[in-house]
């Protein structure tokens, strides 16, 4: 759920969740903007062996697939991960996380067709499982996993590519932060996979919406707010004294002193007395809403 929500919030476009059949109705209610595909369960309520058969069409059409969060049973998970390469499209990017990484160590050959389009996001314990040894250096361990699986690997503060390149990154807390990172990775992989299709289907709308909410539109609103404040201030100063109509009207009309609003002190000096508050007079021109 966390990964799915993160993928939607960063503009992932169309999203389908494949979950155990018993919880599918609840997930559909919680995330009505996504599609939900129920998976067959075993007697214990875990995703059953062979469940991937119901995902054939969805996996073949997907630009990016995330597997792992929510899985908790070895046999069903191993069957699901082992069948990914044959089920996804030729250009589909696959992200493995959580329990899928725990079973991936035994599926190097089955995952080989995904080399070059595989992303793995292990923690230290999962890295030890993938390598079959103790891990102590993120850079060395991430590079080895990347080479073994032909994957881009995010481990601790390191991102390693299968060609030997590596980058240091900041890292947040585990758990929920990790799952949101997987969702963001899923969306980025989706964007990179088929940009033309995304534009036709409107998949870029979320990204544009985010820019409008956080960028240009907010700056425009700030500019309009500043202009409104200046105009209201000028109107208020103009109403404080009938002795300074020219200065106020010049500021409002954009004359030689356009943009310069007379100070309250200068208006008082011109009138020779303390002006009465416009609000007390009930002057509608001084209201901020005008």
Q: Are residues 226 and 202 in the same domain?
A: no
Q: Are residues 247 and 160 in the same domain?
A: no
Q: Are residues 256 and 162 in the same domain?
A: no
- Final residue belonging to a domain, choices 198, 213, 228: 213
Q: What is the pLDDT of residue 12?
A: 83
Q: Are residues 246 and 183 in the same domain?
A: no
What does the alpha-carbon distance between residue 129 and residue 68 come to, in Å, rounded to a whole number?
A: 15
**Beta-sheet strands, E only, within 58-150:** 64-67, 93-96, 118-120
What does the alpha-carbon distance between residue 182 and residue 196 come to, in Å, rounded to a whole number?
A: 23
Mean pLDDT of 22-50: 94
Residue 36 confidence (pLDDT) above 70: yes
Helices 216-240 and 205-214 cross at an angle (nearest 10°) of 30
Number of structural domains in the chain: 2
Q: What is the pLDDT of residue 210?
A: 32
What does the alpha-carbon distance between residue 91 and residue 117 come to, in Å, rounded to a whole number?
A: 8
CA dihedral angle for residue 91, residue 164, residue 10, residue 172, rounded to 10 degrees: 150
Share of the chain above pLDDT 70, in %: 59
- Evaluate whether 93 touches 189 at the Cβ level (below 8 Å): yes
Measure Cα distances from 14 to 58, 70, 139, 155, 162 in Å. Answer: 11, 20, 35, 28, 29
Whole-prediction pTM value?
0.61
Q: What is the pLDDT of residue 171?
A: 52
Q: Are residues 152 and 262 in the same domain?
A: no
- Final residue belonging to a domain, choices 213, 238, 253: 213
Residue 214 confidence (pLDDT) above 90: no
Task: Give the pLDDT band of residue 13 (cuts 50, 70, 90).
Answer: confident
Residue 67 confidence (pLDDT) above 60: yes
Reading the block at residue 2, the tokens are 């966390």
What does the alpha-carbon distance between residue 130 and residue 124 come to, in Å, rounded to a whole number?
A: 10
Residue 11 confidence (pLDDT) above 50: yes
Q: Are residues 196 and 242 in the same domain?
A: no
Mean pLDDT of 185-209: 39
**Beta-sheet strands, E only, within 68-199:** 93-96, 118-120, 151-155, 158-160, 166-168
Comparison of pLDDT for 251 and 13, the residue scoring more: 13
Q: Are residues 228 and 182 in the same domain?
A: no
Which residues are CB-neighbours of 2 under 8 A, at least 6 positions away? 69, 176, 179, 180, 183
Q: Are residues 197 and 232 in the same domain?
A: no
Residue 197 confidence (pLDDT) above 60: no
Alpha-carbon 168 to chain mean position: 21
Mean pLDDT value across the chain: 74
What does the alpha-carbon distance between residue 234 and residue 251 come to, in Å, rounded to a whole number?
A: 7
What tens digit of pLDDT does each residue of 138-193 get? 999 999 999 999 999 999 999 999 999 999 987 554 554 455 555 555 555 545 44
Q: What is the pLDDT of residue 119?
A: 98
Q: Are residues 188 and 226 in the same domain?
A: no
Query: Residue 159's domain is classified under what CATH number?
Result: 3.40.1190.20
151-160 exposure pattern, b = at least 16 Cβ within 10 A, e = fewer: bbbbbbebbb
Q: What is the pLDDT of residue 253?
A: 41
Q: What is the pLDDT of residue 218?
A: 31
Q: What is the pLDDT of residue 154?
A: 96
Mean pLDDT of 60-65: 95
Q: Are residues 48 and 64 in the same domain?
A: yes
Least confident segment among 17-21, 32-36, 69-73, 265-269: 265-269
Q: Are residues 23 and 157 in the same domain?
A: yes
- Structural domain containing residue 226: 220-286
Mean pLDDT of 99-128: 97
- Evaluate whether 114 touches 150 at the Cβ level (below 8 Å): yes
Q: Are residues 139 and 226 in the same domain?
A: no
Q: What is the pLDDT of residue 204?
A: 25
What tens digit of pLDDT does each residue of 244-274 get? 444 434 333 444 444 444 444 444 444 454 5
How many other C-beta atoms can be found within 10 angstroms of the C-beta atom of residue 179? 23
- Final residue belonging to a domain, choices 213, 231, 255: 213
Mean pLDDT of 101-122: 97
């Amino acid at each position: 759920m966390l990964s799915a929500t993160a993928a939607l919030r960063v503009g992932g476009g169309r999203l389908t969740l494949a979950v155990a059949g018993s919880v599918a109705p609840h997930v559909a209610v919680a995330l009505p903007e996504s599609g939900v595909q129920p998976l067959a369960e075993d007697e214990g309520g875990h995703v059953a062996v062979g469940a991937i058969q119901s995902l054939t069409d969805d996996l073949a059409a997907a630009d990016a697939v995330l597997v792992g969060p929510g899985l908790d049973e070895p046999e069903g998970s191993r069957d699901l991960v082992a069948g990914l390469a044959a089920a996804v499209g030729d250009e589909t990017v696959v992200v493995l996380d959580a329990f899928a990484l725990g079973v991936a160590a035994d599926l190097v050959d089955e995952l080989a067709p995904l080399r070059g389009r595989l992303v793995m996001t292990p923690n230290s314990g999962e890295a030890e499982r993938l390598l079959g040894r103790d891990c102590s250096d993120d850079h060395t361990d991430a590079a080895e996993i990347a080479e073994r699986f032909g994957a881009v690997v995010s481990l601790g503060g390191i991102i390693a590519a299968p060609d030997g390149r590596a980058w240091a990154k900041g890292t947040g807390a585990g758990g929920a932060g990790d799952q949101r990172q997987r969702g963001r990775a899923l969306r980025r992989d989706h964007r990179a996979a088929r940009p033309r299709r995304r534009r036709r289907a409107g998949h870029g709308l979320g990204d544009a919406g985010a820019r409008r909410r956080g960028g240009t539109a907010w700056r425009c609103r700030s500019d309009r707010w500043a202009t409104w404040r200046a105009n209201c201030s000028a109107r208020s100063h103009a109403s404080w004294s009938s002795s300074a109509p020219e200065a106020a009207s010049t500021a409002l009309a954009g004359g030689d002193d356009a943009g310069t609003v007379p100070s309250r002190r200068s208006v008082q000096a011109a009138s020779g007395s303390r002006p009465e508050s416009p609000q007390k007079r009930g002057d509608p021109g001084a209201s901020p809403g005008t």
